[in-house]
Amino acid sequence: MRVDGNFEKTVQTSSSIARKVKDVLRQTSSADPMLHSICGLLAQEVPYYDWVGFYLIDQDHEGQLVLGPYVGAPTEHVRIPIGKGICGQAAATGRVFLVPDVLLEENYLSCSPEVRSEIVVPIMRGEKVLGELDIDSHSIDPFDGWDRALLEAICEMVAPLI
């Protein structure tokens, strides 16, 4: 178990967050407000989630990700070519990218010098990448299997609605 301030990474905290995400899915009918509420919920619940956002594959330009709903500082990276940066690599491979220290990652697009680590979890339909959930943290190496499992579960929940 890992502790950050008063926050504990436990099965209980993870189940509680997943339950709240399910409530959002039940209560909200259109995709953008729903995704935005999930960003707000995650940023509020997990103290080291400093920027939380969705990137979606642009249906008109399939080689690009386009920024969707997010919570946190505005980013210049509104469009990201597949393969570029951490987001582009996750989209290219359909795999989770967990970067403990962004200063050590060569293929990285910086949004702000405050960001020190990042996790990107693809949203899949079968083998196809629909988009991804991107989280930046101002802490070094805060993400582990707890985050990965929670975020993968959330991406599975939102996939049918994208």
Residue 63 CB partners (closer than 8 Å, separation 6+): 81, 82
Shorter beta-carbon distance to ligand SME: residue 97 or 154: 97
- 31-45 and 11-27 are packed helices; what angle lies between their axes, rounded to 10 degrees? 160
Q: Is 75 in the site for ligand SME (CB under 6 A)?
A: yes
Question: Of residues 26-55, which lie at the interface with ligand SME (CB under 6 A)?
Answer: 51, 53
Residue 53 CB partners (closer than 8 Å, separation 6+): 39, 67, 68, 69, 70, 71, 72, 75, 133, 134
Using the contact rule CB under 6 A, the part of the chain among 9-17, 39-47, 83-91, 144-152 near ligand SME is 83-91
The correct pick among 136, 137, 142, 143 for binding ligand SME (CB under 6 A) is: 136
Q: Is 132 in the site for ligand SME (CB under 6 A)?
A: no
DSSP β-ladder status, 117-125 and 128-137: antiparallel
The correct pick among 71, 117, 118, 122 for binding ligand SME (CB under 6 A) is: 118
Could you tell me if 148 and 98 are in contact, meaning their C-beta atoms sit under 8 angstroms apart? yes
Q: Is 57 helix (H, G, I), strand (E, B) or coil?
A: strand
Shorter beta-carbon distance to ligand SME: residue 41 or 90: 90
The correct pick among 134, 137, 151, 158 for binding ligand SME (CB under 6 A) is: 134
Tell the smallest beta-carbon distance from residue 118 to ligand SME (Å): 6
Question: Residue 127 is which amino acid?
Answer: E
- For binding to ligand SME (CB under 6 A), which residues are involved? 51, 53, 75, 77, 80, 85-88, 108-109, 111, 118, 134, 136
